Amino acid sequence: MTQKNNPKASDRPFWQDPGQLDANRLPSRADFFVYQDRESAECGQRGESGYYRPLNGPWSFLYLTDPGAVPEDFIEPDYDDSDWDQIPVPSNWQMMGYGKPNYTNVNYPFPYDPPHVPDDTPVGCYRKRFRLPKDWSGKMVRIHFAGVDSCYELFLNGQRVGFSKVAHMPAEFDLTSGLAEGENVLAVLVYQWCDGSYLEDQDCWRLHGIFRDVCLLADEPLHLQDLWTEALLTEQPDQGSLRVHLTLGQALPGRCFPLRLHLQPRDTSGPKQVFDLTARAGADGLAVLDETFTIDNIRAWNPEEPFLYLLLVELPSADGRASWTPFRVGFRTVERRGCEVLVNGRPVKLKGVNRHDTHDRLGHVTPYQVMVKDIRLMKQHNINTVRTSHYPNDPRWLDLCDEYGLFVIDEADLETHGDHITGYALSSDPDWTAAYVERLERMVSRDRNHPSIIIWSMGNESGYGTNHLRMIEKTRAMDPTRLVHYCEAGWHEEVDIVSSMYPVAHALPGHERPDLKPAHPLDRNYSVAEFARATDRPYFMCEYAHAMGNGPGNLQEYWDLINEHPSLLGGCV
């Protein structure tokens, strides 16, 4: 992906310019790992992949309170960092004793002057030495950052590779041309604040650094670049429709490339199906294949029985071996019919919670075993839905939701709550449109293979403007199989679900207004009972029964109403 420049702001540094989204970031893709044999692919443990090398662990680290104090030559391989500290990756540097955690809820933690942030924003300088495995010779090598807050520049062996923003989204860069034989040195400069921070004003602790996994990935000259699926139910009993859209990279133009798809139950309990296909490369060196298959005798995915299939992509290489790439597939259909949401043709009620990626000692770094504990507690307490408030969660959480059976409302990394002082002007500012849409595009590209996701959310508490309209248009173009939610869209027709936060359950006796439609679903002067009568679509409380302090206390009143009215979809605590 090439750098995007805003001519009006060409004199701004990239980290204070919303027109510069990234530089040299590879195209967004689904979250997957490639394996050297079928057995490893069926197991699906990334550590067993010969194409994967983690870079988690100790990195050399220097914390500074001013970007102007960064040593100019810290990116050079021979720079002496022996007096630097060591910091674990992933981590938030505040949780390691550098700087202070910050919590402001609504207000921005710096003076409001978009797109500018303080010139003396703190920075973290990271360095890591590594050597490539010997059997990676001749392969393409890219680096994968799963999450960095707020933005960062990447250097390899003294040369600038690129930069990326959007804290909770992965970014990948091609390192192949800059690699040296023997030892290589990565340098990363992380900025605590950037222009993107105006779009990341979520109600949570503000913590920074490389807080999700970092790894190296190897690719064969001909490799699977991306794949997404649509696994739906047909009108025939026990029948599914599987659409597979895949892209092969580094394909010689005009050549045809054979590949094989294997579909089997993940628990190996049923029959296996094989599809032999051929993809033809275009002039751009990409071979794109888009096929739809009818699958009989399928078992559908739902939260009570989250049945999963395993789709394996077998791609032969020039030396006669093959790479194997696994994808989980769950057959299910989501639709809105009148004022109800149906999954697999049946109305559902969403008994949900809002969830942050957070840990009491590690900040935004959530260990896998803690995620497992979280989801088991949710299932034990009859929770069936989680809203990823207010950014896409760690992809391993989505894997668990697929496996254990939870509906997911996947929310874009977007909140501009502090912009309320201007009436949320950023959400209709064309200089920020590309930044809004990119956050949606990267989320859908990463997550659309997860059957647990039934709703895309355009973000949180950012007003409602033309930039949200562009996000919704992009969502429906990329994935028409799921519903669209955004709380502050109100009664606007662009969204499938009418949503609000913290309505009362009932109006006070004598104050009911059965014939009056609220001007906006966020008007808290109206009750859930009144919304049930007024809505023309499913009505959903994306936040209710606030669980901070003295609450919640009247869940039974809410759920008596939700169960009484088909138009009430449910809510998330």
Last residue of a domain, one of 190, 212, 234: 212
| 501-517 pLDDT, tens digit each | 998 888 666 656 555 56
Residue 37 belongs to some domain of the structure: no
Give the pLDDT confidence score for residue 515 in this predicted structure.
56
Please, what is the angle between helix 433-447 and helix 466-478, to 10°? 30
In b/e form, how buried is each residue of 192-228, taking b as 16+ CB within 10 angstroms?
bbbbbbbbbbbbbbbbbbbbbbbbbbbbbebbbbbbb
Answer yes or no: are the C-beta atoms of 492 and 464 closer than 8 Å. Answer: yes
Is the pLDDT confidence value at 532 over 90? Answer: no
- Average pLDDT in the 322-346 region? 98
- In this structure, is residue 494 part of a structural domain? yes
Q: Does the pLDDT of residue 1 top 50, yes or no?
A: no
Q: CATH number of the domain at 259, please.
A: 2.60.40.10
87-101, 205-219, 254-268: the lowest-pLDDT one:
254-268
Q: Report the pLDDT value the prediction gives residue 10, as an integer from 0 to 100.
A: 59
Instruction: Give percent above pLDDT 90 in the chain.
Output: 87
CA distances from 569 to 116, 333, 457 (A): 41, 17, 15
5 has a pLDDT exceeding 50: no
Number of domains the chain contains: 3
**Would the pLDDT of 453 be above 80?**
yes
Residues 141 and 276 in one domain: no
Q: pTM for this one?
A: 0.95
pLDDT above 90: residue 522: no
Instruction: Give the gyration radius of the chain's Cα atoms.
Output: 24
Average pLDDT over residues 84-95: 99
The C-alpha atoms of residue 196 and residue 385 are separated, in whole angstroms, by: 29
Sequential DSSP letters for 342-365: EETTEE--EEEEE----BTTTBT-
Give the per-residue pLDDT at 270. Answer: 76
> Where residue 93 sits, what CATH number does that domain have?
2.60.120.260
Residue-wise pLDDT for 29-70, tens only, equals: 999 999 999 999 999 999 999 999 999 999 999 999 999 999
Percent of the chain with pLDDT over 70: 95
How high is the pLDDT of residue 548? 76
Residues 343 and 451 in one domain: yes
pLDDT at 79: 98
In a domain, 51, yes or no: no
What's the whole-number average pLDDT of the chain?
A: 94
Please check whether residues 338 and 323 belong to one and the same domain: no
Instruction: Among 275, 310, 329, give the residue marking a domain's end.
Output: 329
In this structure, the answer to whether residues 167 and 268 fall within a common structural domain is no
pLDDT digits (tens, 9 = 90+) for 185-231: 999 999 999 999 999 999 999 999 999 999 999 999 999 999 999 99
Q: Rounded to whole angstroms, how far apart are CA atoms 59 and 518?
A: 55
In a domain, 66, yes or no: yes
CATH number at residue 406: 3.20.20.80
- Residue 547 has a pLDDT of 77
Of 431, 433, 428, 425, the closest CA to residue 6 belongs to: 431
Write out the residue range of the structural domain in which residue 281 sits.
223-329
231 and 350 within one domain: no
Q: Report whether pLDDT(534) > 90.
A: no
List, in sequence order, the alpha helices (H) in 364-428: 368-380, 395-404
Residue 414 has pLDDT above 70, yes or no: yes
pLDDT tens-digit profile of 482-496? 999 999 998 999 999
Q: Is it the case that residue 291 has pLDDT exceeding 60?
A: yes
Angstrom distance (rounded) from CA 320 to CA 338: 54
Residues designated as active site: 461, 543
pLDDT average, residue stretch 165-178: 98
Q: Does 495 lie in the same domain as 411?
A: yes
Domain shared by 376 and 506, yes or no: yes
Give the per-residue pLDDT at 6. 40
pLDDT tier, 143 (very low <50, low <70, confident <90, very high otherwise): very high
Confidence grade of residue 529 (pLDDT, cut at 50, 70, 90): confident
**Domain identity same for 143 and 229:** no
Asked whether residue 297 falls in the same domain as residue 436, the answer is no
In this predicted structure, what is the pLDDT of residue 267?
A: 84
> Per-residue confidence at 9, pLDDT binned at 50, 70, 90?
very low
* Tokens matching residue 480: 């028409």
Among 163, 178, 212, residue at a domain's last position = 212
